[in-house]
Structure 1
Amino acid sequence: MFGRLGAPEIILIIVVIVLLFGAKKLPDMARSLGKSARILKSEAKAMKSDGKQQEQAPADPPASEQPRTIQASPGDVTSSRPVTEPTDTTQR
């Protein structure tokens, strides 16, 4: 019953969305959704690469390592900020 959506159903859904949110707000909503998706993708990629680096990392990291910079979205330099990574201060 609800398994297949044809062209008339999709058109009806689009018309209802435009009526509810208005044509002026839809581009802003799509833009913010795209930014959120890019941020989520970059953070997931960073988490995967951090996990691989921890497995392959030497016991003591080099002292001259610069802080990693996290960007809110590609090309958005106004919200970039350096992040200091936590260091392991436990004694062995």
Structure 2
Amino acid sequence: MLSTHFLFIGTPEVFVIMLIVVMVFGADKIPEIARGLGKGIRQVKDATNDIKKEINESAKLNDLDLDVTKDITKEVNGVKDKLDDFTGPIKRNR
């Protein structure tokens, strides 16, 4: 069975929520609310990018390794390869 879920909310629930929003705020206020939410999300995203930039600059000044994720990915892939060698021709079903 195929269904669309967003944050554990199904399609019927989304329509009910939209109906309640229209009833509470009115159709003419929805674009204004959406713009406000968009601006808020943009400010959070910009702040997050600024924090990331500061962390990266600080790490470079202090000669810290920023490629930790590459090292972790390399180790995980190594373990997966060893596991595949160990299990041989056994395939996993999904």
- Which consecutive segments of 4 or more residues in structure 1 shift more than 6 A? none
Q: List alignment gaps of at least 5 residues for structure 2.
A: 1-7, 63-94
TM-score, with normalisation over the residues of structure 2?
0.49
Which structure has greater helix proportion?
2
> Which residue is equivalent to 1:46?
50
Identity of aligned residues (%): 33
Matches within 5 A, 1:1-92: 5-57=9-61
Q: List alignment gaps of at least 5 residues for structure 1.
A: 59-92
> CA separation in 2, counterparts of 1:6 and 1:29?
23
Q: CA RMSD in A?
A: 2.1
> CA separation in 2, counterparts of 1:28 and 1:22?
11
Larger-gyration structure (1/2): 2
TM-score, with normalisation over the residues of structure 1?
0.50
Higher relative contact order (CA 8 A, sep 6+): 1
